[in-house]
Amino acid sequence: MCSIMGFSSKALTTEELEIYFDRTISRGPDMSRIIETKSGYLCFHRLAIMGLNEAGMQPFELEGDCVVCNGEIYGFRPIRRQLSEHYEFKSESDCEILLPMFHEYGLSMFSRLDAEFALIIYDSMTDSLIAARDPIGIRPLFYGYDAAGSIVFASEAKNLIGLCAEVCPFPPGYYYAYGKFIRYADLTSVKSYTRDNLETTCRNIRNKLIAAVDKRLDADAPLGFLLSGGLDSSLVCAISSVVLGKKIRTFAIGMEEDAIDLKYAREVADFIGADHTEVYMTRDDVIKALPEVVALLGTWDITTIRASIGMYLCCKAIHEQTDVRVLLTGEISDELLGYKYTDFAPSAAAFQQESKKRVDELYMYDVLRADRCIGDNSIEARVPFGDLDFVKYVMGIDPAMKLNTYNMGKYLLRHAFENDHLLPDDILWRQKAAFSDAVGHSMVDDLKAYAETVYTDEEFDCKRRKYDYCMPFTKESLLYRELFEQHYPGQAKMIADFWMPNKSWEGCNVSDPSARVLSNYGQSGK
């Protein structure tokens, strides 16, 4: 985890640009460096994860070229051994292989990376910047143009506020070079589906997820695990415990009252023998954290903000009370294998189309939430369900097999691990609960009630009409939008829309993003 910026001009001095760059120093508090290129700058705030000594400090330089990268390059050691025939490596950092790869493969290097990354390369031959982002968008990257029309790249939108008139998310799976954005990877456009039967499919899901978890356990800094008690995070924790062969450190959060998932997280932790920590929050904690959470997220989306408050407060406690620097999480399973609302998908084709949309937009919602809540607390997020091989395979499964015809959401994932007994059966087969609700139903109710105290009905109707883009439709959504505009004025288009179930499907035309309002929620939250 770190923060990067790249300037293609010297319109600012180093002292002036530090004002913008230091807004994200929490992403990389260990060490900072700014270097001048012929026409601009590269900037780096470091959180040391791989190669902890100073030799791993970026920017890396090679024959006049430079690179800064916020990322983890999985399987980098075999690549380094191959490249070491022609290049000398000075650190244990995974990111040191990037410039040798650029020299060997040029722009085709990006499609060769198994990584979560955002990077900026200074190409000395053309005196220009090249930028790229991983295909899921797990690591953040934004861009804009300064007053002189020169492009600027940064890890977070907040780095560019006041510097660029319009701040844009860098599209996942693209690189920018020589004035153009080029897509180098597309994991969600499936030309033909696998012919694997149910048992083969589930066996592949199992093996690929175990491999995805395994590669993300490689870190020189201390590891921890977020454990909600739901299926996805519980599987990540259970697999990690077996792979590492030792006690892991797990963390869960809930309201002081009615925290649904705390009891399930505790059950999982006890079952796998984890060193488990529970974090509690109150209504006052939630309301107090709200402005700070909106500011660090850079979103006005209802469900993202709701789900971020618990995650942020949990990660804040981890940062303040432990030495953990890397957290594994369970995000990205729902987008691939189904939400509660996708039980209403009218056809296999509709399910697949919805899954594609959700994965393509992850960088604006769940992935954004995980990165900001964890990164703002100087910890690195790793997301096994976002593994490129895993995502590509699951997207290629016949969607008819992913439909909930089993009376159990995400049946394929559950069946894949049924015979391993990594988890208690009541956890493996427990119906899904929404994270933003499961930390305590009262949290969402408290946020709604608080918003009611901020605006009268007349104020709500008047103030919401100021926003012609994605107009707020509840007092809660207006509150979030106004908090967002305080920090990111005029930048609402960074987010495509409110995250909501597909309203065109029967049973999904709801007015709140919470799964609690769906008719099939049932016993999920009990």
CA distance 105 to 269: 45
**Do the beta carbons of residue 344 and residue 403 sit within 8 Å?**
no
* Catalytic residue list contains 470: no
What DSSP letter does each residue of 211-233 carry, written as one string? HHHHHTT--SS-EEEE--SSHHH
Count of CB atoms within 10 A of residue 398's CB? 18
Instruction: Output the six-digit token pair for 455.
Output: 């605006």
**Do the beta carbons of residue 144 and residue 5 sit within 8 Å?**
no
Q: Is 64 left (phi over 0), alpha (psi -120 to 50) or beta?
A: left
Instruction: Output the six-digit token pair for 405.
Output: 């015809």
CA distance 301 to 513: 10
- Widest pairwise Cα distance in the chain: 71
**Do the beta carbons of residue 46 and residue 37 sit within 8 Å?**
no
Which residues make beta-bridge pairs with 130? Answer: 121
The conformation of residue 135, written as its DSSP 8-state character, comes to: S
CA distance 2 to 420: 37
Is beta strand 223-226 parallel, antiparallel or unpaired with respect to 326-328? parallel
Catalytic position from the list 2, 69, 95, 508: 2
CA distance 293 to 286: 10
Instruction: Output the six-digit token pair for 119.
Output: 């990077």
Active site residues: 2
